[in-house]
Structure formats: structure tokens, C-alpha cells
Amino acid sequence: MKKIYLLAATLVILLGAGGLLTACDDGSLSHKDVNIPDPVPESDDDDGISQEPTTDAIIKVLPGEGHRHQNIDGFGCSFGWMEAVYMNDKREQIMDDLYGDAGLRMNIYRGEVMGSYVDNQGKWDFQLDKNWLFAPGSSEVAKWKSDTYNSETGGLCKQMAQLWLIDYLTKKGLSDNIYYFFSVWSPPGIWKTGGDGLVGGEFNSQYGQTYARFLTDFVKSYKDKFGIHIYGISGWNEPDQAMGGWNGCQWTYQQMADFVDNDLRPELNKEGLTDTKVVYGELPWWKNALTWNQNSLQYKPQLKDDNIIAAGHSYSTVAANILPDEVAEQKGIPVWVTETCDDKTRNEDWADAMKWAQIYQDYMTKARVNAIVWWAGARYATTTGENLLQTNSWDHSTTYYRVDRYYSIGQFSRYIPRNATRVDVSGISGSTVKLPKDLTLSAYVTDDTYTIVLVNNSTTKSVDAQVEIDGKTFGSMVAYTSSANVKWQRKKLNPSMSGKRTVTIPKYSVVTLTGKWQ
């Protein structure tokens, strides 16, 4: 209980039928302490009875055998622009918005193993003993950002940024729930043929063992420094084309498969890192990534025993190309989207948010992926839609804001728990109430919880529908709604006297239902 003390020596209190009582000299109340109860935690439990539904449309979850699909590993973002976070005055709030309970609750972190860790003699230093705790606008950080370090302009700033980000998440107690994985945009130029330092060129396989030791040493060093579990390591990023002017390196799928099976997996295992997965592929276009990964497994079938994730990016794709990796599924290999964003146009309106809600829905239901990782959690974008949080400047920035797609993606990341299983769910129009043709659905269950994501792309039609679960009953239900007008709006959906529950799905909105089932 919390006591209230009134600091007014001459305060007079009027008591009910007419007694006056003056405050004591010490400022406390002379009659008794005034108490208020501590805040009551918000409960998802049912707390009333709703009216009987008037709609005969039904959303029906099918959790039984024959209706179960992939397990969910989670949702996250990449920090290829990690210095944009590090150099923002509100960098702590940015990380809380991405990983905190009041934010997106992301549980996957994609970082970078930088080629600039290695000097021109082939020696590497992960800078773990360097002081990275400088203010965003400090002269030290500004110098790191402008200087060239081991062939990369701003390379040291990026290295310090990554250390700060992981240090912050660890100190906040969030790291225990995060799957950390790290990709390489380019190995150092001395381990490549052609190209210009970290830009372009091809991997030189004669350095396969050295490169495997480098990646393994990175995993060990970060694990020892921060006490975090490195869930995965990727030695490449978009390896089929080192283009665009940024750091990159070309591989062939045969070369990649040989490196993983002959060098990287054995080196990780030798150091006791058998549970660290190899994130394989990471090509920019989803359909090409599927072909690459499937060709790799055909060329070297033993890859299925190398603890890999079949990964790809989802750029320049159309709905028809959002396909499952059936070969990986058959071999029990997880499938991840490890990068996605709009790299062509920049829109920050609700239409863009709805577009991304549908893309996430399609990758979960059509491609049957286990995880989705957005590209840039935060950065300053002027011509593209690469971020979820928009900073107000390049380099040192002072503030940021949430882009609308932040909220629609949060309808997935906040409410679909890790290790849930996606199950079938059907939308059934009634005789009097028709569900919108543009309504898509997905559902996920654990032993005792469920999540249903409803994406209504109709710009004109809202609808009410009953919600059922085949052969089971709901123990509770809460709806979270995002539209142009509201974001993550919470509402309990209590049962009617007959036990029926009804959800309202506004036009052009995403509604996520969560609760217990039995």
C-alpha cells in the first residue's frame, strides 16, 4: 500500500457529517494515514458476459493432427545500420522499442561479422577490450565514423556500435530470449580474388580453414564477453551477386556447401559450438534463394546433418514467388527470411503498413517460414522504406519516430510466441454475413495458448465473426487491433451466455487474438 502525506501545515480536512481536523506539524494527517491500493496487474481473464452474436460468419481454428505446420522461431531485425542507432541520442529508447515488452518484443538479432576486424596481415581483433561507452554526439564517435579502418570508412564506429547494442540488451536482461546470429557482408580483401578491398570480388577457397577459424573465434569471443548464446553464423550476404557498391563477396553454391561441410561445421564442433547453426544461403531474391539452397542439398546431401538454416531474403518478389522450401522441410531444416524491406520506394502511410502485414502473413502461411527478420530496425531513410524507426538525421541524430509498418509488423512479433506451431484456420461466410474476400488468416498454438492474426485488406468492409476452435474451448480471448486510427488497441472478448465469442475486424486493419485454450 502507498501512503499519501500532505505537506501543508494549515490543511483542514472536512470529515463526513461535520468534523474538522487539522494536519499535524510534521505534515502528516492527524486522523490516520490515507492509503490507496497498489495498481492491479492487467488480466486477460474473462470478466463479464457478452451479448449473443448476431453474425453467422465464423473463423474456425483447426489445431488437431493433419492441420499442424511449422514451428515458430521468432521475429527480429538486422543491424546493418547499427551505427544509426549508436549515434542517436535516444538509442536506449530505440532498443526498447524494438526488443522491449512495450515495443515489438523482437527475439532475433541479426548482426555483422565485419571484414574490417582483419588487417592486411590477416590478423583479427574484435575490439572487445575497447571502450564503446561514449555519448552519441561525442568527438570520439564522430572520429570513428569519419576515419577509415582496415579498408572500411566508419568501420570502427560500426564495431563499437555493435558492442554497445549487445551490451545494452544484455544489461536490460533481454539477451536470454534473443537468438543472436551474425552475417558477413565481405571477408577481408586478402581472402578474396578480385574486387576492391571489401567491395566485390570472389571468395578464395584456399583460405577456407582460416576463414572458418575466424568465424568460430568471433562466436567464441562474443559468447565469452557477453555471456550470450550465438544461435547462428553466416559467412556471406547475398553471395550470388556482389553488387551495389557496398561490401560484398561472390560465392558459388558448390563452394559454399564445401566450405560449410569441410571447414566451418568441423571447426565449430571442435570448439564445442555444436548447437550454433550455420545460416546458409541468404540470397537477395526469395525464389532464387530456394533454388540455391535446394541445389546445394542435392550437390552435398550431408549438409542436412550440418545443423543449417535454409535462409533467403525477400527482395523484388511478387506474391506468386512466395513459395515454401519443400526440400528443406522434408529434411527437417528450418527456413528463415533473414532480410526484408522496401528497397525501392519510401512510403510511411497505413497502406504501406497493410502491405507489410500481408507480406508477413504470406510468408508465414504460403512459404511456411520459421522466422522473419526485417532489414534495418532504425536508420535515416530518404528514398526507401528500409526502416521501422526513422531517425532525424544521418550520423549523429537527436530523435526518431515509429513508421506505421512498425505497428502492423508488431501484430505478429508481439503476440506470436516462440515455439508455437502454426495450424490451419478457416474463414467461413454465413448466410447473412459474408467475410471480405481480402481477409487472410493465420493461427498459432502452444500447449495452452493461441494466437490468431487477421489481416483485412478490404478498404470498405468491416465485419463481425464468431471465433471457434475445433474440438476445444477458449478459456480467454483478447483482441489487439491496428488500423489507420488505432495501434495495438486492446479489448477483451468475453463469451456470451452460450459460450460464443465474437470479434470485430475493422476495414483495412490487422487484428490479433490471443488467449488460453483447452
| pLDDT of the residue at 311 | 98
pLDDT class of 20 with cuts at 50, 70, 90: very low
More confident position, 422 or 28: 422
In 184-304, which ranges are E strands?
192-193, 202-203, 230-233, 277-283
pLDDT class of 13 with cuts at 50, 70, 90: very low
Given a contact cutoff of 8 angstroms between Cβ atoms, the answer to whether 366 and 419 are in contact is no
Residue 278 predicted with pLDDT over 50: yes
User: In a 3-state reduction of DSSP, which class is residue 491?
Assistant: strand
| pLDDT of the residue at 299 | 98
pLDDT class of 469 with cuts at 50, 70, 90: very high
Residue 41 predicted with pLDDT over 80: no
| pLDDT of the residue at 186 | 97
| pLDDT of the residue at 263 | 98
Q: Which residues contact 175 (CB under 8 A, 6 or more apart)?
A: 166, 169, 226, 227, 228
For the residues 465-486, what does the mean pLDDT come to?
Answer: 98
Q: What is the pLDDT of residues 379-390, one digit of tens each?
A: 999 999 999 999
Residue keyed to cell 575490439: 127
Given a contact cutoff of 8 angstroms between Cβ atoms, the answer to whether 382 and 393 are in contact is no
For the residues 369-378, what does the mean pLDDT come to?
Answer: 98
CA dihedral sign of residues 502, 506, 508, 509: negative
Report all structural domains of the chain as residue ranges with CATH numbers, in order of start: 2-36 (no CATH), 58-68+420-516 (2.60.40.1180), 73-413 (3.20.20.80)
Q: What is the pLDDT of residues 197-230, one digit of tens each?
A: 999 999 999 999 999 999 999 999 999 999 999 9
Residue 423 predicted with pLDDT over 80: yes
| pLDDT of the residue at 34 | 60
Given a contact cutoff of 8 angstroms between Cβ atoms, the answer to whether 293 and 310 are in contact is yes
Averaged pLDDT score across all residues of the chain: 93
In this predicted structure, which of 1-10, 158-167, 288-297, 433-442 has the lowest mean pLDDT? 1-10
For the residues 303-331, what does the mean pLDDT come to?
Answer: 95
Residue 361 predicted with pLDDT over 70: yes
In 380-432, which ranges are E strands?
387-391, 400-402, 421-428
| pLDDT of the residue at 99 | 98
Q: What is the pLDDT of residues 74-106, one digit of tens each?
A: 999 999 899 999 999 999 999 999 999 999 999
Residue 19 predicted with pLDDT over 60: no
More confident position, 289 or 34: 289
For the residues 34-58, what does the mean pLDDT come to?
Answer: 87
| pLDDT of the residue at 318 | 86
Residue 54 predicted with pLDDT over 60: yes
- pTM for the whole structure: 0.92
pLDDT class of 22 with cuts at 50, 70, 90: very low
Q: What is the pLDDT of residues 100-158, one digit of tens each?
A: 999 999 999 999 999 999 999 999 999 999 999 999 999 999 999 999 999 999 999 99
For the residues 317-323, what does the mean pLDDT come to?
Answer: 90
| pLDDT of the residue at 224 | 97
Q: What is the pLDDT of residues 153-202, one digit of tens each?
A: 999 999 999 999 999 999 999 999 999 999 999 999 999 999 999 999 99
User: In a 3-state reduction of DSSP, which class is residue 35?
Assistant: strand
Query: Which runs of consecutive H residues, i.e. helices, occur in 313-447?
Result: 326-330, 350-365, 404-413
* Per-residue H/E/C for 111-153: EECCHHHECCCCCECCCCCCCCCCCCCCHHHHHHHHCEECCEE
Residue 342 predicted with pLDDT over 80: yes
Residue 420 predicted with pLDDT over 70: yes
**Cα 509 from Cα 503, distance rounded (Å):** 13
